[in-house]
């Protein structure tokens, strides 16, 4: 019955969590002709969506207006309405605890809210990245507390999010969507649902396979980024430019994939997801030495940037303590406003902890958002001008936004420490330029 409702677009889709994953997913289902109920506990988001306003820059200003104007989208903070949806897609954060253990509290709260209104025939799909077994063994029992049984009374599946904020060549609709059910019927229903809204839905044999595939995707990136970060440390000590080495290796048309170093890892996925596998691996008696080593290397990179900045200032006859320091870019990657796990935030905290006077400039992040583990409320973005640049002892490039006027920065910064190779073509031979 549910598959028939999906195919006829009579099924109502609920999206729980309207952030970087949930909002574009809701939009995809609206565009596919479904009625969509979006749920979020942040009343400010609900109010902005009702007005058709966008709060995620990289998704474009018109997306939410189109959703509102379609007449098929409604946002609500009332989780008591979850029972109105035929399919509920859970898109909530899965952070790490203090000891890098999985924090499934948001999934648990979501499951508890859904369980209160869960009815027979509903499909529940978890999108949040987690370790294999979470959907079946953690979420399933929570949903079953109301007396309904997964695979018998309601359907349960996992479909990992694959969002990459700011990417122009792929979006929610064009990125292939993995789907794995906790039973045959759950997998079939979830596959039918996503196939109706995205270009390609790829069904795998189980929720556990889909959960593990998502971890593999991000661990692959984490390990390779750690590799080039470690090479940067080694080659720098040898007086060799790692960026030129990467360019040279990239000329090989096979057997090599380009990864670039940076000041650390950012975004919600790569700094966090590998530790979900590390945690579950210990529970089944295995160590993840390779993954943990990559994490250690990537975690060290902000400290390396601080060391390089201190040496650069020392060459100018200045100490870091008391120096005026400008961080270029607060977002974790270029051309977006996403600051989740951004290494720039750690750089600010490290530099301030060592006595530097720190400001930042980011054309996409005028004011730092509220964060669970960081408090940057005393900061606001500076607008770059020649006088502003000249007023700082050192400028540290943390994120290479295209909206930065790199020629002006090169012309007026007294000293530059560049973690992204952004100014190499303009300042390579200058004594006031350092790569980090």
**270/185 Cα distance (integer angstroms):** 32
Sign of the CA dihedral running 12, 17, 22, 23? positive
Measured distance CA(225)–CA(421) in Å, rounded: 15
Burial class (CB in 10 A: 0-12, 13-18, 19+), 352: middle
How far is the C-alpha of 367 from the C-alpha of 359, rounded, in Å?
Answer: 12
Q: Is 310 helix (H, G, I), strand (E, B) or coil?
A: helix
Rounded to the nearest 5 degrees, what angle is found at the Cα of 293, between the Cα atoms of 289 and 298?
155
Active-site annotation holds for 269 = yes
DSSP string, 14-33: EEE--STTHHHHHHHHHHTT
Sign, Cα dihedral of 83, 89, 95, 101: positive
> Radius of gyration of the chain from Cα atoms?
23
CB distance 179 to 207 below 8 Å: no
Single out the catalytic residue among 269, 301, 328, 398: 269
Is the CB of residue 293 less than 8 Å from the CB of residue 226?
Answer: yes
Query: Which residues are tagged catalytic?
Result: 269
């Amino acid at each position: 019955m549910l598959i028939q409702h999906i195919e006829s677009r009579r099924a109502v889709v609920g999206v729980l969590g309207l952030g970087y994953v949930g909002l574009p997913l809701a939009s995809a289902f609206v565009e596919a002709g479904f009625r969509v109920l979006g749920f979020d506990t942040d009343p400010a988001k609900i109010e902005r969506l009702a007005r058709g306003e966008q709060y995620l820059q990289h998704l474009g200003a018109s997306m939410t207006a189109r959703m509102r104007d379609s007449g098929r989208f409604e946002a609500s903070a009332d989780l008591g309405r979850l029972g109105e949806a035929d399919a509920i897609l859970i898109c909530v954060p899965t952070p790490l605890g203090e000891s890098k253990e999985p924090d499934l509290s948001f999934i648990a709260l979501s499951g508890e809210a859904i369980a209160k209104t869960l009815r027979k025939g509903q499909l529940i799909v978890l999108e949040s990245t987690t370790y294999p077994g979470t959907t079946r063994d953690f979420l399933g029992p929570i949903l079953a507390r109301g007396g309904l049984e997964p695979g018998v009374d309601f359907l349960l599946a996992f479909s990992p999010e694959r969002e990459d904020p700011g990417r122009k060549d792929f979006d929610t609709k064009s990125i292939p969507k993995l789907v794995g059910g906790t039973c045959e019927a759950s997998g079939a229903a979830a596959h039918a649902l996503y196939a109706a809204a995205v270009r390609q839905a790829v069904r795998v044999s189980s929720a556990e396979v889909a959960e593990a595939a998502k971890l593999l995707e991000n661990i692959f990136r984490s390990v390779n980024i750690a590799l080039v970060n470690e090479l940067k440390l080694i080659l720098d000590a040898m007086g060799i430019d790692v960026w030129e080495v990467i360019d040279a290796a990239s000329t090989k048309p096979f057997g090599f994939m380009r990864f670039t170093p940076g000041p650390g890892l950012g975004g919600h996925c790569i700094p966090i997801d590998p530790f979900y596998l590390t945690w579950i691996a210990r529970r089944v008696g295995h160590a993840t030495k390779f993954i943990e080593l990559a994490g250690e290397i990537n975690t060290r990179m902000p400290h390396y940037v601080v060391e390089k900045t201190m040496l650069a200032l020392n060459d100018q006859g200045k100490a870091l303590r008391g120096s005026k320091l400008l961080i270029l870019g607060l977002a974790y990657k270029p051309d977006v406003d996403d600051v989740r796990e951004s290494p720039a935030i750690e750089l600010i905290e490290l530099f301030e902890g060592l006595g530097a006077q720190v400001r930042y400039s980011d054309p996409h992040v005028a004011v730092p958002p509220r964060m669970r583990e960081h408090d940057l409320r005393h900061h606001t973005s500076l607008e770059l001008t020649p006088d502003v640049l000249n007023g700082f002892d050192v400028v540290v490039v943390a994120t290479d936004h295209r909206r930065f006027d790199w020629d002006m920065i090169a012309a007026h910064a007294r000293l530059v420490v560049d973690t992204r190779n952004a100014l190499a073509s303009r300042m390579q031979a200058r004594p006031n330029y350092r790569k980090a």
